[in-house]
Amino acid sequence: MSLEIGIVGLPNVGKSTLFSALTKRQVDINNYPFCTISPNTGFVNVLDERLDKLWTLHPQSNKINSVAKFVDIAGLVKNAHQGEGLGNQFLSQIRGVNVIVEVVRAFADPNIIHTEKRIDPLADIEIVRSELILSDLELLLKRKERIAKEKRSPGKEGEEAEIEGEIIETFLEKLNREEWLWPTPKFPGAKEQKAKEICKNFSLLTAKPIIYAVNIEDTRDTKDLLAKFTQKGIREEEIVFLDVKLEKELSEMSEEEKKEMGLKGNLENLVRRSYDLLGTLTFFTSGEKETRAWTTRKGALAPEAAGVIHSDFEKKFICASVINWQKLLGAKSWKDAKQSGLVRTEGKEYEMREGDVVEFLVGK
């Protein structure tokens, strides 16, 4: 399961600087709106201490981290849903990502232009939030018009259009109340699956989890800001405080230099938070050739997890040998863990757990 994260926000809030810090890619970072027009993309290894420790069992093997893709999308402005600032183009770029990271400016610098000529993080959030909601409203209203014709069709087609129409009405009601569609609203029976399909098929912006990367000066006390955010209904787990300029400088230092200076960034927390909000878990494979981290959704059964490794593995799944990563480390080797009865054999109904180390047995 790949993770694609879209970095959004108003112009000149630190999006491209954050992207550069995450991916260690040099991109155009200038003090004027829309210096990024085409999105920058880059891949980041998801650091995982568990993978590092498992690798010590087979230090000759290739260590392969999970990978997250980051997309740096140009700054949004008021009325982006109506095309302001090339808004429609930028909004379409957000539709392809799994998670939205909104960079929110909470630092004061007279040398860096703010398009609204003020520093107000919550007001910035409202602008971006409104544009994403209005964009989804426009899309769903167009779909509602088409469904009105499909409802008149005989048989199954008309019935399915009726169900879709009811779900879209619920979505429109929530959006008109300025409510987010993530997590997907609950529906009875088969309607729930249909609602998820609509969110996926239309790539609804408001059906994606969002994290607020609050760009602060490193010395600022964040307690007052956190209180303001939570009072507005933003959950603490959706907020990550970063000094983006410092993160960029840290990304250019060696680990030894950072240790000597006693500096530690918060980028790893941003990536991990994205995985948590998306509802994923990490499992591992460990052997002489490869020690690797894999990602699947929480609640996935063993065959689905096997399919992450190779699509044929899901179809030809027979069983899985499973052990928790800490128990494997304690046993020192897979062979010793098996002899001690720590490795379990699980079938098709096994629900994967965070930190499982797995060997899949598949048919030919």
Residues with Cβ < 8 Å from 363, sequence gap 6 or more? Answer: 316, 317, 318
Q: Would you give the end-to-end CA distance of the chain in angstroms?
A: 24
How much of the chain, in percent, has pLDDT values that exceed 70?
91
Residue 173 pLDDT:
96
What average pLDDT does range 259-275 have in this prediction? 88
Residue 350 pLDDT:
98
**With the C-alpha atoms ordered 146, 147, 150, 151, is the resulting torsion angle positive or negative?**
negative
What average pLDDT does range 124-130 have in this prediction? 92
Which amino acid makes up residue 30? N
Question: What are the φ/ψ torsions at residue 144 (nearest 5 degrees)?
Answer: -60, -40
Per the CB < 8 A criterion, the answer to whether 103 and 11 are in contact is no
DSSP string computed for 104-142: EE----TTS--TTSS--HHHHHHHHHHHHHHHHHHHHHH
Residue 28 pLDDT:
44
Select from 202, 89, 82 the least CA-distant residue to 143. 202
331 vs 189, more confident: 331
Q: Does position 85 have pLDDT exceeding 60, yes or no?
A: no
Per the CB < 8 A criterion, the answer to whether 41 and 16 are in contact is no
Q: Does position 222 have pLDDT exceeding 70, yes or no?
A: yes
User: Can you tell me the distance from the alpha carbon of 293 to that of 284, in angstroms, rounded to the nearest whole number?
Assistant: 5
pLDDT digit string, tens, across residues 282-334: 999 999 999 999 999 999 999 999 999 999 999 999 999 999 999 999 999 99
Select from 56, 54, 55 the least CA-distant residue to 326. 54
Which amino acid makes up residue 46? V
Partner residues linked to 281 by β-bridges: 296
What average pLDDT does range 68-76 have in this prediction? 82
CA 51 to the chain's CA centroid: 20
Select from 230, 226, 231 the least CA-distant residue to 214. 226
pLDDT category of residue 88 using cuts at 50, 70 and 90: low
Buried b or exposed e, range 334-345, using 16+ CB within 10 angstroms: beebeeeebbee
Question: What are the φ/ψ torsions at residue 181 (nearest 5 degrees)?
Answer: -95, 0
- Residue 71, helix vs strand vs coil: strand
Residue 87 pLDDT:
45
What average pLDDT does range 232-253 have in this prediction? 93
Residue 115 pLDDT:
77
Going from the C-alpha of 39 to that of each of 68, 125, 267, 283, the distances in angstroms are: 16, 21, 20, 31
Comparing 60-64, 66-70, 354-358, the range with the smallest average pLDDT is 66-70
Residue 35 pLDDT:
44
Buried b or exposed e, range 99-112, using 16+ CB within 10 angstroms: bbbbbbbbbeeeee
User: Can you tell me the distance from the alpha carbon of 201 to that of 185, in angstroms, rounded to the nearest whole number?
Assistant: 16
Looking up tokens 């009072």 gives 231
User: Can you tell me the distance from the alpha carbon of 44 to that of 135, in angstroms, rounded to the nearest whole number?
Assistant: 29
Comparing 149-158, 163-172, 194-203, 205-214, the range with the smallest average pLDDT is 149-158
Tell me the average pLDDT of the chain.
88
Q: Does position 13 have pLDDT exceeding 70, yes or no?
A: yes
Q: Does position 36 have pLDDT exceeding 50, yes or no?
A: no
Partner residues linked to 283 by β-bridges: 294
pLDDT digit string, tens, across residues 148-161: 888 888 878 888 89
- Residue 190, helix vs strand vs coil: coil
What average pLDDT does range 5-26 have in this prediction? 87
pLDDT category of residue 86 using cuts at 50, 70 and 90: very low
The structure's pTM equals 0.84
H or E element, residue 284: strand 280-286
Residue 30 pLDDT:
44
Residue 32 pLDDT:
37
Residues with Cβ < 8 Å from 167, sequence gap 6 or more? Answer: 187, 191, 194, 195, 198
- List the domains of the chain with CATH numbers: 3-47+66-120+207-274 (3.40.50.300), 132-205 (no CATH), 299-362 (3.10.20.30)
